[in-house]
Every structure is written in C-alpha cells, then in structure tokens.
Structure 1
Amino acid sequence: MSERVIVPRNRGFLFLDSHPAGCQRLVEGMWQAVPGLAVTPADDGPVALVIGSSAGYGLAAMVAGLKRAGIRGIGICFEKAPTGRRSATAGWYRTAATADLAEAAGRDTVFLNGDAFADSMKSHVGDLIEQRFGGRLDYLIYSVAAPRRTDPETGTPYASVLKPIGQAHRTKTLAFGDDGEPEVREVETGPAEGDDIQQTVAVMGGADWDRWISHLADRGLLAEGFTTAALSYIGSPLTAAIYRQGTIGAAKTHLEATARALNERLGKLVGGRAVTSVNGAAVTQSSTAIPGIALYVGLLRGVLGDTLVPPAGQLAELWDQLTGTAPLTVDDEGRIRLDTWELTDDVQAAVAERWKEATTSTIANLADLDWFQAEVRRLYGFDVPGTDYARPVETAVPWPTHTP
C-alpha cells in the first residue's frame, strides 16, 4: 500500500504529482458528457487504434470512440509509473480509468505504454491486431504531441521546437505567480535557426503516421474502407506567428500533405481514406507550453462561456463523421473542421478586442481565469468535483492488464 494525501505542487503550469482519484473522476466525467451509441454495432464493434490515447484530444478520441462509436482495440501512450517519491503521471491514471470504463462497457481494449515512434511498437500492435482482433483494423486516430523522435531506420534523433519562422516574435502571454495572481507580460521568442524547421517537421509532421499506415498495410491488416485521421489545430490569427506560421505550423502543413497522399493510397488499396481533423482550442498539457496560447484560451472562454466546445464533444462529432452517422464533410484542403465555432468572425473580433485591452490590471475582467486555472489543475486530477482531496489515496495504481 502506498496511500497518501496528495496536494498540488506546481512550477507554473507543470505539476509535480497527479491525483489518481481526481484523474479517474475526470475521465468518468468525459464519459458521461459523450452521447451514447449512435448505432449499435452489428458485431463486437469496429476495431480502432488510437495513438496518443492518454491526454488531450487523443484521450477524448479514445473515450468518445468507446462510448459513441462502440470501438474496441488498442490505445498507445507514453507515461511514467508511480515511484516511492512521486505519483504516476496523470496520463497513467487516466488510462487506468479509461480501461475500467471500457471493461464495464464490454469493449475489448488493450492499452500499451511505450514509444509509438519505434518499429518494435508497430510490430507489437500488428501482432495484437492479428491475434486478438481478427486481423483487421477499421480506424486509426493519430494524436501525438512529442518533444523528440528517433528515426527507426537511421537512429537519428530529432527534437521539435516552438519558434517563429523568419524573425523573432513578441507576444502577450499569461502567467500566474506563486500566490496564484495573474500577470500579463510580453515575451519574445527568437526565430528558427539552422535545421529547427526540419527537426520539428521530423517529430511532429506526418512521417510517423505514414510509417504506421505502411507497416499495417504491408501486413494486410487494413480492413476494407479503413479510415484514418490525424488530429491537428490551426488556431487564431492572434497566435499564428508562433503556431501556424511557426515551426509547429510547418509540421502541421506536412501532416496535412501526408493526409492527402495517404488518402490517395488508401483509396486505391482498400477503398479507404485519410483526413486531418482540425480541432478547436482547449487547455492541454501541450498547449499551455506555447507562448500566448494560455492568454488566448482564457480570453476565448471569456467570450464564449459554456458554449466553448470541450474536446470530448468535438471528438464525438468526429466519430460520427468517421463512422457515417453524420456526413463526412471536409474543406478544400481535405480537412474535417471541428473548429468553426472558434473561428467565426464575430468570436475572433471579440477575442482580438480583449487581447488588445489585456493587461495585468484588466485581465480578470476579460478572461475566465477561474475556469482556466481549474482546467490546468484538472489536467493533473485536481479541482475535479466530487473528489475528496483531504483523504489519502492509493498512488500505486497498476497499468491495465490485457489478458484475453
């Protein structure tokens, strides 16, 4: 037994520990927010692979897929186990909670903890699809946000960076002091240098997604009509210089080009298709690391309030389109757009006006700071309604087993 009371200790937006019970309740809340099965599966349900299944939109894809589309299959993530000094990462506990919900719903689901970029993981997943899931895969959701990747063919390591392209960029950003008081400050990020762009594209572009599809196709594991979607983001003009027009944006452009190439290949191979799904803004462990995003999301929530669409709601809509429950609608670039609620002219104009007015003294009246801070804490299992944080909790939660 390793029960203890866990209190939130953080450095900025990063927390040193995660709360197992809070993470469990968070996932249960996502599950409750997703509508039930759109169509009862004719058999045991479609087989899906979700790469990046423990956090952000990947977690939402896993939960919404289980609840809304009745999927079974495999989730892959990379999380740290609990130690004597530290809890496990939040994604470890979220995965355990997702596995419990899948089991309760009768969905045969396997969760793997490891490097999704590695060919050994691809081989292991292929074996599981062959041996456990009838040798066919119906869907693959790709949602990987990683700081680094090693090319499995050459052994070359690559590291992604968050930098503008061409010149340095100054932007407002939101920070919180040790006392929790908000501060709006300006930060400057230097431009990409050397091979920064190529390195970031190598990590966050479409190379690994393509490699997954090629590996599974070579083994004959793609079902007729197989569909794959990579999750992406475009965002506001307010954040474009550091995001969509920066190094990460170059990687997203490569991801979208990969989707178009895969779409052509899959159409010929199995009558399938590949798309990117452009999601709306959300507070995630990845997004809070991007300069300006925290301020933007807080202001966006200030404008939209409860009409801001959470990841689980967006991914339920994505599954409806992928499974044919709703028409699959793409833009001129072949992208499913789940961000239209965010990027309307009136919403963006309202956020832009608040952005101009945002200072340390005015921010409390312009952004929903209570919501934003709570969302950050909920990423680690804190501030989740119904959780008793004064009660000792077991931190040594085991990784979900997948014995047939």
Structure 2
Amino acid sequence: MSERVVNPTGRGFLLLDSHPAGCFATVARMRAEAGGDAAGPGKGPVALVVGSSAGYGLAATIVGLARHGIRGVGIGFERPAGRRTATAGWYRTIATASMVAEAGGDFTFVNGDAFAEATKAEVLDLIAERFGGVDHLVYSVAAPRRTDPATGVTHQSVIKPLGAAHRTRSMEFDADGTAALREVIAEPASEAEAEATVRVMGGDDWALWIGALAERGLVNDGFRTVALSYIGSALTAAIYRDGSIGAAKAHLEATAAGLTDRLAPWSGQAFTSVNGVAVTQASTAIPGLALYVGLLRAVLGDRMQSPVEQSVQLWEQLTGARPLDLDEQGRIRLDRWELDPAVQAAVTERWEAVTSATIGEHADVEWFRTQFRSLYGFDVPDVDYTEPVETDLPWPT
C-alpha cells in the first residue's frame, strides 16, 4: 500500500505529482458531459485511438465509448508510481477502463510508445485476435521526441518560430498563485530543428500506422481515420501555426490526401480535424498560449467548447450521423467558434490592453488556473484533498 496525501508541487505549468481521486473524478465528469447511451457491448464500431490518455485523445475515447459503444484499443505512454505518483494519464486510463468494465464494453488499453515498432506489433496482434479489423483510427499524439524506425535516428521537436525571433507575453503564476505577465523572446528554429519537429509531430507515424493496418489486412471497408490538428489565432501564429509546430501540422494535413489514396481499395478516407484551443498538458508548453486562452475564455465564457463537446461533433461526422464540416483544404473544422471574427476582435482588444496589473480584468485567470491544475487531478470539485489516497495502482488489464 502506498497511501499518502498528495499535494500539487511543481514549477510553472509542470506539476510533479498527480492525484488519483482527482483524475478519476475528471473522467467521471467527462463521461457525464459526453452524455449518450451507447447501444451496448459488442454493438459499436472498432476504433484505435493513438494517444488515448490525455487531452483530445482522452475526450475522443470517452465520447466514442459513451455515445457510440466503440470497441477496440487505446494507446497511452504513461509512467507508473515510484518515488512520485503515477502520471495523470495513468490514473485517467484506469478510470476509463473501469467505465468500460461497468458498461460491459470491449475496449483495451496498451501502455507503450506509439512510435515504436514493438508497440505497433503488440496492438495489431491484439486487434487481429479480438476484432479482426478496424473501422476508425483517431491519431492524437503530442510528443517531445521520436525515433524513426527506418533510420534509428531520434528526432527532438522544438517550439520555436521560423525565420526570426519572436517576442510575446505569457501568463504565468507566482508561488502564491498570483497571475503575472512575463515577456518571452523565442529564438528561431534552425533548419535542422524545424525538420526534426516535422519528423516528430508531422504525418510520418500516422502513415506508418495506416500502412501497418493495411499490410495486416486489418482495414475494414468504409474505414475513416482522423489526425487532430490546430490552427489558432493570429495572436499566436508566429510561435505556433507559422512556427516549427505549425510546419509539422501542415505536414500532418498534407499526409491526409496521400492516405486517402492509399485507402481507396477499402473506400476509406483520411482527414485532419482542426480543433479549437483547450488547456492541455501539451498546449501549456507553448509561449503565449496561456494568456490567449485566458483572454478567450473571458470573451466566450461557457460558449467556449470543451474537448468533449468537440469530440461529440467529431464522432458524429466520422460515423456519418451528421455531414462532414470541411473547409477548402478538406479539413474537418471544429474551431469555427474560436476563430469567429467577432470573437477574435474582442480577444485582440484585450490582448493589446492587458498588463500585469489588469490581467484579472481581461483574462479569466481563475478558470485557467483550475483547468491547468485539473490536468493533474487537482482543484476538481467534490474531491477531499486532505485524505490519503492509494497512489500505486496497476495498469488495467
């Protein structure tokens, strides 16, 4: 037994421990938000979710289970408890697996590096044995590095602008929880760094998963796959969409057309989904994004769409329950609420006016802080953080 009181210690937007009960409660709240009453065990399509333990991948998994009764496999890459607690994704996966078990569903979770050939082999063997094929693949991976299986070279991604340095402001929290603005100067990525980021965050691995499924005969007729992407505001473009990560997202989007051609024998289709912004463990690492999200929330309030709300729309489009909402480039658009010109004008006005002294007037600081801490299972309603909790919990089998 490893029961103890878990406190939110860390620095910046990185906490060192996660709270199991808070992570369980987070999954329960997401399940309630998803709504729906799936047809029952064994009734839904077979889905593979690559990146099922956090962010939009977690939301897509929960919505798929709750509303469409998906069967299949989710992949996360999480750390068990040791000197520290397990990662939040470890606990969230346990909670999601419990949800599956209670519903009598058939969805398995694999803990492994999605980039690794060994993980692909394990997952494909499992799919072949249990399901015989896949109807949908949702690809939602944000990673700092990737080893190319063809070359053995490990590439490291960077979050940098391209061409020139960029000066921006970021919202941070002092030790006492007070929000402040910090000026950030991001140096430009080198050509090698930009290419490495594309190799990590672009479409290479997505294409390898599709190729591996096809080679094993595991692509079902009518197969649809989607990789999650982001465009975002002009306020964050220099560091994101026009930066090294944006180059990787452009590569991801370009990959979709080639995959659709490859899937033609099964009448298959590949899309990218441009999601709206959210507070995630990946997004908090991007300079300027915390301030932007806080300002956006102040403008939109409850009209800001959560990852669960967007995932409801995504699954309805993937399954044909509603028409595809595509832009001129063939991308599924789930971010129209964020990029509405009136919304962006209001956010820009606040961005230009905000100072450290007035940040509480222009941005929804408390909402952002709660969202960030809830990524680790803290500040979740109805959880008693004074009580000891068991932290050494096994991965679901």
Establish whether TM, by shorter chain, passes 0.5. yes
Which residue number in structure 1 is paired with residue 350 of structure 2?
354
For 2:338, what is the secondary structure of its paired residue? coil
Which residue number in structure 1 is paired with residue 206 of structure 2?
209
Amino acid corresponding to residue 30 of structure 2 in structure 1: M
Which residue number in structure 2 is paired with residue 397 of structure 1?
393
Amino acid corresponding to residue 280 of structure 2 in structure 1: T
Aligned length: 397
Summarize deviations over 1:135-187 as a string: whole Å, max 9, x none.
Answer: 11010000000000000111011000011001000011111111111111211
For 1:383, what is the secondary structure of its paired residue? coil
Which residue number in structure 1 is paired with residue 39 of structure 2?
40
State which of 331, 334, 347 in structure 2 corresponds to 1:335. 331
Summarize deviations over 1:175-227 as a string: whole Å, max 9, x none.
Answer: 11111111112110001114011100000000000000001101110000010
Q: C-alpha separation between the residues in 1 aligned to 2:245 and 2:307? A: 20
Q: C-alpha separation between the residues in 1 aligned to 2:383 and 2:304? A: 24
For 2:324, what is the secondary structure of its paired residue? coil
For 1:375, what is the secondary structure of its paired residue? helix
Which residue number in structure 1 is paired with residue 195 of structure 2?
198
Q: C-alpha separation between the residues in 2 aligned to 1:113 and 1:124? A: 10
- Where do residues 2-401 of structure 1 align in structure 2 (5 Å cutoff)? 2-37=2-37, 40=39, 44-83=43-82, 85-133=83-131, 135-266=132-263, 268-401=264-397
Amino acid corresponding to residue 119 of structure 2 in structure 1: M
For 1:76, what is the secondary structure of its paired residue? strand
Amino acid corresponding to residue 29 of structure 2 in structure 1: G
Q: Residues 36 and 67 of structure 2 are in contact (CA less than 8 Å); yes or no, is this contact kept in structure 1?
A: yes
1:126 Cα deviation from its structure 2 partner? 1.1
Amino acid corresponding to residue 376 of structure 1 in structure 2: F
For 2:235, what is the secondary structure of its paired residue? helix
Amino acid corresponding to residue 70 of structure 1 in structure 2: G
Summarize deviations over 1:239-287 as a string: whole Å, max 9, x none.
Answer: 0000000000000000000011111221x22001000011001000000
Q: C-alpha separation between the residues in 2 aligned to 1:241 and 1:344? A: 20
Name segments (4+ residues, structure 1) moved above 3 Å: 39-43
1:42 Cα deviation from its structure 2 partner? 10
Q: C-alpha separation between the residues in 1 aligned to 2:89 and 2:191? A: 34
Q: C-alpha separation between the residues in 1 aligned to 2:92 and 2:103? A: 17
Q: C-alpha separation between the residues in 2 aligned to 1:226 and 1:367? A: 42
TM-score, normalised relative to structure 2: 0.98
Q: C-alpha separation between the residues in 2 aligned to 1:159 and 1:291? A: 18
Farther off after superposition, 191-200 or 234-243: 191-200
Q: Residues 162 and 188 of structure 2 are in contact (CA less than 8 Å); yes or no, is this contact kept in structure 1?
A: yes
Q: Residues 51 and 57 of structure 2 are in contact (CA less than 8 Å); yes or no, is this contact kept in structure 1?
A: yes
Q: C-alpha separation between the residues in 2 aligned to 1:41 and 1:5? A: 38
Amino acid corresponding to residue 124 of structure 1 in structure 2: E
Amino acid corresponding to residue 153 of structure 2 in structure 1: T
Q: C-alpha separation between the residues in 1 aligned to 2:42 and 2:126? A: 19
Q: C-alpha separation between the residues in 1 aligned to 2:233 and 2:396? A: 38
Identify unmatched segments of 5+ residues in structure 2: none
Q: C-alpha separation between the residues in 2 aligned to 1:370 and 1:292? A: 17
Amino acid corresponding to residue 67 of structure 2 in structure 1: R
For 1:282, what is the secondary structure of its paired residue? coil
1:44 Cα deviation from its structure 2 partner? 2.7
For 1:380, what is the secondary structure of its paired residue? coil
Summarize deviations over 1:25-51 as a string: whole Å, max 9, x none.
Answer: 0000000001204x7379531110000
Name the CA shift for 1:42/1:121 in 2 (closer, same or farther; >3 Å).
closer
Q: C-alpha separation between the residues in 2 aligned to 1:348 and 1:214? A: 39
Amino acid corresponding to residue 368 of structure 2 in structure 1: F
For 2:339, what is the secondary structure of its paired residue? coil
Amino acid corresponding to residue 198 of structure 1 in structure 2: E
Amino acid corresponding to residue 63 of structure 1 in structure 2: I
Amino acid corresponding to residue 225 of structure 1 in structure 2: G
Task: Tell me the percent identity.
Answer: 60
1:394 Cα deviation from its structure 2 partner? 0.5
Amino acid corresponding to residue 178 of structure 1 in structure 2: A
Name the CA shift for 1:310/1:4 in 2 (closer, same or farther; >3 Å).
same
For 1:184, what is the secondary structure of its paired residue? strand
Amino acid corresponding to residue 187 of structure 1 in structure 2: V
- For the aligned residue pairs, the C-alpha RMSD in angstroms reads 1.1
Q: C-alpha separation between the residues in 2 aligned to 1:44 and 1:301? A: 38
Q: C-alpha separation between the residues in 2 aligned to 1:35 and 1:91? A: 22
Q: C-alpha separation between the residues in 2 aligned to 1:13 and 1:219? A: 41
Summarize deviations over 1:276-335 as a string: whole Å, max 9, x none.
Answer: 011001000000000000000000000001111100110011001101111122111111
Q: C-alpha separation between the residues in 1 aligned to 2:108 and 2:51? A: 13
Q: C-alpha separation between the residues in 1 aligned to 2:174 and 2:40? A: 50
Q: Residues 51 and 139 of structure 2 are in contact (CA less than 8 Å); yes or no, is this contact kept in structure 1?
A: yes
For 1:376, what is the secondary structure of its paired residue? helix
TM-score, normalised relative to structure 1: 0.97
For 2:337, what is the secondary structure of its paired residue? coil
